[in-house]
Amino acid sequence: MSLELVLITGMSGSGKSVALRALEDAGYFCVDNLPPELLLSFVDLEERNQRRRVAIAMDVRTATSLPLVPGHLRELVHRGIAVRPMFLDATTDTLVRRFSETRRRHPLSRTVTEAEGDQHRAVVEAIELERELLADLRQRAHVIDTSVLRASQLQEYVKSLLSAPLAQLTLVFESFSYKRGIPVDADYIFDVRMLPNPHYEPELRELTGMDAPVIEYLQKHQEVQDMFADIAGFLDNWLEPLARNHRSYVTVGIGCTGGQHRSVYLVEKLAEEFGTRWTTLKRHREMDVRKGPGQGRS
């Protein structure tokens, strides 16, 4: 059995340390902020030590040598190492708020005095610069949007991703509410707000798209079935080409107004439809958020 390497990269404040703790709990040998120059020699050492699961976090603190990483990853794959790149992201507003709450300095922040009134702008500029520096790594990894996730939810999601076989494409269906923003980790977004809304039926308002009365209500409307058929048809056409292009994950976002009824119903139905042919995961962003009190930082 070859060594499995999980590479965690992403935006400062997006939850990389939380993800690394989840991997440590799952039995991975974890190293934070490994300089990219040491990646190949570190993997050699771990193979000699006969480790089977290793996780490494890299970020913009080693910005000058980050361009080395894509080439190193290609070499490791060529050597038979099972590489799982994950990129943690969040909206700029979320990252700014997290830095403000923790009073941490962004690694790329320039010195700006409070008297100039530019502290907020300096953080925003640092975040946008960081996005530019990490763009190549983001493009090559599975992106996880932590904007509305608590630490425990992020840990659960990372562990669920690790349960999926690496050798084949994994399809992730995610329901969400447009009121809370579009998930930045979605590869495809389908807007289903034009479909009949169970929210306006008093007896259905507090239920979800997984409850039988809501399912029965939505199944009665032809436009709901047409939307399902259109999304399924699109995926039927393009998943095979994506898999041939060596994509490890494809995230499909289904959005409605509240993220409770229509999007949840369609995610459940699509996951059932494609689960017989592809490794399939599902997430209900707004329902997951409501499971616990408050919204912590990840």
Is 146 annotated as ligand-binding?
no
Report the C-alpha gap between 77 and 50 in whole angstroms: 18
**In this structure, what are the phi and psi dihedrals at residue 89, rounded to the nearest 5 degrees?**
-135, 165
Is 16 annotated as ligand-binding?
yes
Read off the tokens for 20.
Answer: 């690394």
Contact predicate 175/254, CB 8 Å: yes
pLDDT of res. 296: 33
Within 10 Å of residue 147's Cβ, how many Cβ atoms?
A: 23
Report the C-alpha gap between 19 and 1 in whole angstroms: 24
| Gyration radius of the chain over CA positions | 21
Is 233 annotated as ligand-binding?
no
**Residue 201: left if φ>0, alpha if ψ -120 to 50, beta else—which one?**
beta
Cα Dmax for the chain: 63
Is 14 annotated as ligand-binding?
yes
pLDDT of res. 199: 96
Report the C-alpha gap between 170 and 34 in whole angstroms: 28
Is 152 annotated as ligand-binding?
no
The total number of residues shown for the chain amounts to 298
Is 248 annotated as ligand-binding?
no
Q: pTM of the full predicted structure?
A: 0.82
Q: Position of tokens 């562990």?
A: 159
Report the C-alpha gap between 225 and 60 in whole angstroms: 46
Is 53 annotated as ligand-binding?
no
Among the listed residues 95, 73, 68, the one whose alpha carbon sits nearest the alpha carbon of residue 84:
73
Burial 184-208 (b: 16+ CB within 10 A, else e): bbbeeebebeebebbbeeeebeebb
pLDDT of res. 237: 96
Among the listed residues 101, 132, 136, 166, the one whose alpha carbon sits nearest the alpha carbon of residue 298:
101
Is 27 annotated as ligand-binding?
no
Is 163 annotated as ligand-binding?
no
The per-residue DSSP string of 175-214 comes to: EEEGGG---TT-SEEEE-TTS--GGGSTTTTT--TTSHHH
Within 10 Å of residue 212's Cβ, how many Cβ atoms?
A: 8
Is 258 annotated as ligand-binding?
no
Residue 42 CB contacts under 8 Å (≥ 6 apart), including other chains: 31, 34, 56
pLDDT of res. 166: 72
pLDDT of res. 122: 82
The H-assigned helical ranges of the chain are 16-25, 39-48, 69-78, 92-102, 119-139, 151-162, 212-219, 222-244, 262-274, 285-289
Is 230 annotated as ligand-binding?
no
Is 160 annotated as ligand-binding?
no
pLDDT of res. 291: 54
pLDDT tens digits for the chain (298 residues)? 689 999 999 999 999 999 999 999 999 999 999 999 999 999 999 999 999 999 999 999 888 899 999 999 999 999 999 999 999 999 999 999 999 888 888 888 764 444 345 677 788 999 999 999 999 999 989 999 999 888 999 999 999 888 887 768 899 999 999 999 999 999 999 999 999 999 999 999 999 999 999 999 999 999 999 999 999 999 999 999 999 887 889 999 999 999 999 999 999 999 999 999 999 999 999 986 555 433 333 2
